Structure 1
Amino acid sequence: MEHGQVAFCPFCRTQMNRLRPFCFSCGRSLQFLSGTEQVEGPDMLQQCIQYFNAGHSYAVIVDMMSCLHDVHISLRSLKSKLNDAGFFRRKDFSSTNVIIRTMRLELRRPGQLFGYRTMWQVLKQKYNLQVKRDQVMNLLRELNPQGCKRRARRRFIRRTYHSMGPNYMWHVDGYDKLKPFGLALSGCIDGFSRKVLWLVCGPTNNDPTVIAHYFLSCVRNLGVTPMRLRTDCGTENGTMAAIQCTLRHHHNDYYSGASSHMYGSSTNNQRIESWWSIFRKGRCQFWMELLADLRDAGYFNGSHEHQCLLRYCFDDFIERDLDECVRLWNNHRIRPSRTASCPGGVPNELYYLPHRFDSRDCGFNIEQSELDAFPEAHLTRVPCGDPNMQEYLDFAMVHNHLRKPEYWQSSTELYLKLKQIAEL
């Protein structure tokens, strides 16, 4: 070996300042390296051993050494050098006790999710054990029978949703599928009963004042605040979160004060996200297709004026449709689920009669005096979202003797007429 070169033990990867007959770390003989370094370089055999331990075939190792390292070696020479170094495919298998100890070590980690093929690869490449794949399969059946049975079912393992009762957790989120048309939805659902507490359509669901108004209105109507409130990390939820924590600051339970509100990603806010999926299939898809047809026909370009006009024409009918959706949902029967600890039943019955389902109301009664500390924003009900546009459209309706629509077909006709009158 030339001066300045560094050698590595191919067995334990220990670095040495020069090539020695034996590795001072693992004690294995390194004399087989002494005839190769002068011809093909000191790292050639070590690289071959690395590819060998990675599971590549002899032919692939020869090709990789030629293409990646510019080292040309014959297949027979490669086998001879690996055999001299003590590396074989079908000889010198590791003892069963060593394999079992190593597998038990992996089963305490994420390795408990491995199938026998992955476990066999880990044993060979991570621990440099010589083991048969059939042996790993049989040992894994003995050491981890539940994991083998679970993988044989070929089913996705879902987490179980837990809730102690109604008002234990409220899930709040916005729905933006209709937002390109100026229709922003906000909803809240009780995690235990799956009762929809509010479902509102407005010009925006990004204004903290608007979301706080929905929350305070719901608390006033029910007279309770939840034990916990869960939202995503959007800035529109900040005011509502502060109100919830303030209402719960004088309580003495584990989730009182700041712990009564929980931020999380939208994908983990599973109760409301799951309900949005049902809502789209049963209700929202109709509106998405109807409004998309107007856009595709060239009658809607997404501008502020077009959004205001569309809200003005469709707002009443959409609100009635949302109220009907909530009423039907809260009175329909939900089947029991294996992925939730909550019982099945009618949401209104689950929410108002928890004792019938061996549960209890987890909410906290709120007095009106406590709510007076939060002056509720008086949100002016402007269907189109723009007072100036609202005044202009009201005048156009009276001047042209037009009436508010009762059905969606009439809403579409009114939209086209007012669009023509306003020259939009």
Structure 2
Amino acid sequence: MSQSLPEFIQGSSTRYEYSRSPTPEEPDSSRNLRNRNPTGKNQYANCPPPRDETVEFLLRKYHRNGVTNRNILSELLKAEHSIQISPSTVARRLRKLGLRASGAMTQALPESTKRQLILNELDKDPTSRKGPPTIKDEIRQNTGIHLTRDYINAEMHVLDPEGFIIGQPGSRKRRRAQLVLLGPHHEWSGDGHDKLSQIGFPIWGIRDVWSGVWLGLWVLPNNRLKVAIGYLYLSLIRELGGMPIQTTTDRGSETGRIFGIAEALREAFSPELEGLPVHRFLQSIHNTTIERGWLQLRLQWGDNVKVVWEEGRDIYDASDEQQ
């Protein structure tokens, strides 16, 4: 997983160029310029056949997780599963499986269906804290349907205008820096989340910086124990079959164990990467990938769970076996 990968190209699409055939008078160099594969070597010779059950399962899984870009899917399949499929082949298989991106899906669905999907999610948000991106993610996670953010934003202004007033930011925004990454699993971002500890949900998580995919979220009795966090880090490496080039965490006392484990594994298995930092310590506010993930988790789930918890605090009776 530490291999170099092409840079992420957001929203790209394959373009085909048609040109006339070269005339005999034209030099060979001009013909080679039009030949996209002058060596004749097929880099996707080991592409799985159509209807491959593993590929179909993975494409459906990625689609459900919000990954629809053909280039990203091609890279993830190669990096995480050693499956080589070109972006154009990925696009064809998505079409055969009926897995559409948000634009096509929004255009195809009836208006009443789309509006009901939004209403269903608004009903789960009594605090009106969820914005269009969060509602978009929840619809996708719960139904597998992708709607565009613009459509959801417009409908929410009609269905819940007061929610936008409540959600207006009141603080200055920090200036964002551009992330430069080689590809999937170049960098992992890890951190603990304490906002729900008071109701019994101390959480620790790891997120892939390049794709934004959650690699692991765990509820622990104590998310500040070095041994527990080190165990989770090693378990994830074992599950995925490799480790990132770099891991990023805050300076919490529990993250020192991750640093030691990463250093030892780098020295034992990837000595050729000597000189590249295996771990980076940041202030929590600068560990932006994981912090944004916590924000979405709180808006999607945490705030409303706390409201429901408080409503039932005086109702619950530990001695009542019926509860």
TM-score by length of structure 2 reads: 0.43
TM-score (norm 1): 0.33
Higher relative contact order (CA 8 A, sep 6+): 2
